[in-house]
Structure formats: C-alpha cells, structure tokens
Amino acid sequence: MNRADVIPESHLDLLTRPLFGHFATIRPDGAAQVNPMWFLWDGENLKLTNTTTRRKYRNVSVNPRVALSVIDPTQPYRYLEVRGSVVRIDPDPEGAFFQVLADRYGMAMDGPVADAADRIVFVIRPDRVSAQ
Amino acid sequence: MNRADVIPESHLDLLTRPLFGHFATIRPDGAAQVNPMWFLWDGENLKLTNTTTRRKYRNVSVNPRVALSVIDPTQPYRYLEVRGSVVRIDPDPEGAFFQVLADRYGMAMDGPVADAADRIVFVIRPDRVSAQ
C-alpha cells in the first residue's frame, strides 16, 4: 500500500506547509503526553527530530503508537489528525535531519547542531487519518 | 492542593486566551489520538465540550488520562502542556456550556445547540505541566 494514499489530497497542504504539529505519545505508565513538534512529510512517512535524552524518545521506544494533529492557522476549524506507528528510529549523528527541519521552519542556525550526537529521527508510518 | 498552583503564572495566559488546544486521549486499543479542541480554564480545572457519540468520549470513559498542548500563535516556541485526568463528565443537556465556549471562541450561533441532548463536559484536573 502506498502510504500517501492514507492522506486525503484535500488536506495534504497541512503536512507540506511548515506548520507545527502536536505530537501525542503514551508514557510508560500509560498516561497521554502531547507536545508541539516540527515535522516533515516525505510522501510516505512523517519524520520528526528528537534526542535520546527526551521523554518522547523513551515513550515511543516502549509504545510506538503515536498521533499528530495539525490545524490550519488561517482556518482553525480545518485540521488533520494522523495516527500511526514509529516504524524506525534512525540516528542523526551529524544533525543533518535537524538542519533540514530548521531550514523548513526558518530557524537560523549560527553553528553546528549542539546536541547532534544525541539526535535521532522518528519515522512514522501513517495508518489512519481524521480530517475536517 | 490548589490545582491552580500546577499552572505556572508565566504561561497562564495560554489557558485564558481563546486558543485552540490539542487534546490527547488513549483509545481502548491503546493507540494515541489527538484532536484540536476548545477549552476553558476555570482556575481549578480544564473544561472541554464533547458529545456521547464521539470517539473521545469513549476513550476517556475507558482511560481518563489525557493531555492538552497549547502554543502561543504569536511566539510558537512558547507552549504549555497540561497532563491530567478526566475526574468528572457532566451532562450539558441544554448545551449551556457549549454556548459558553462558542462565545469564548467567537462562534456566532444562529439557534439552539443542535446536539444539546448528547452534550457533555469533560472536567480535567491538571496533575503535571511542561512549558517552554
């Protein structure tokens, strides 16, 4: 199955524009957690940058089932929710993927990525969406 | 304990301004879900409107542990996450609380709340926050 088929064409712009996503994970004790995050949609998977020192990394290592909510800031009742699983956690030891996201979101970098050694990439396969 | 003490004064405006929250719940099968929602902070609890016909209602009925993420649209790296539990689900059979939120978010209503009979209020006690 082509994962891109999961995302409705009508709401694809919410993944391709540099909007903030709200990323839901489940903590090891079973509680919900949700945090704003940068993301990239590569046409097949969602990719997020994180580090091995964060709670979110521990959460998805224990329970890979996650969800991302994005609203259109110009039409806030227009939104997309993507539910899926973290299918891979890739190392990003040079911070190269972090830099891709920093560029996408217009964050000026004044040097190398400080925590590059701990940087990783969550690769999320979308399974279901809801949209309005 | 006064629950208001949980919310840092520095980020209280993110609850009192009519911003959209992204509400994370856990589905009965253990997957994460997250959706944009209206909310009200009454100084002690977060209150959200929902209906008994929605997935979110079923989710919180099975697992009351939820979280809400709010970013400042004018400074998107400024945010507040509130984690807590749905401690009460109140009926809202006249849609009175829905109307309070519609007013708060500037939604013009052209008549009575259509699904008032199914309307309920999630009352959420904050337990922990994260903020930046």
- What pTM was estimated for this model as a whole? 0.95
Query: Beta partners for A25?
Result: A33
Q: For position B111, what pLDDT does the model report?
A: 84
CB atoms A130 and B68 under 8 Å: no
Picking from A22, A76, A81, the nearest residue to B69 by CB comes out as A22
Residue type, A82: V
Could you say which of A22, A30, A63 has the minimum Cβ distance to residue B34? A22
Helices (H), ranges, chain A:
13-16, 55-62, 96-104
* CA–CA min distance B93, chain A (Å): 24
- What are the C-alpha distances in Å from A96 to residues A41, A92, A114? 16, 6, 12
> In the structure encoding, which two tokens stand for residue A51, read together?
């580090």
Q: B58 CA to chain A: closest CA distance, Å? A: 15
pLDDT digits (tens, 9 = 90+) for A28-74: 999 999 999 999 999 999 999 999 999 999 999 999 999 999 999 99
Token pair recorded at residue B31: 């997957």
Q: How many domains does chain B have?
A: 1
Q: Which domain holds residue B12?
A: 3-131
Tell me which residues of chain A have a C-beta less than 8 Å from any C-beta of chain B. Answer: 20, 22-26, 30-36, 63, 65-69, 71, 73, 76, 79, 81, 83, 130
Q: Give the pLDDT of residue A94.
A: 95
Q: How far apart are CA B73 and CA B13, in angstroms?
A: 12
Q: Quickly state the pLDDT bin for A76 (edges 50, 70, 90).
A: confident
**pLDDT one-digit tens code per residue, B85-96:** 999 999 999 999
SS3 B85: strand
Beta carbons of A81 and A130 less than 8 angstroms apart: yes
Residues B109, B103: Cα–Cα separation, whole Å: 9
CATH number, position A15: 2.30.110.10
The complex's ipTM? 0.94
**What does the radius of gyration of chain B's CA atoms come to, in whole angstroms?**
14
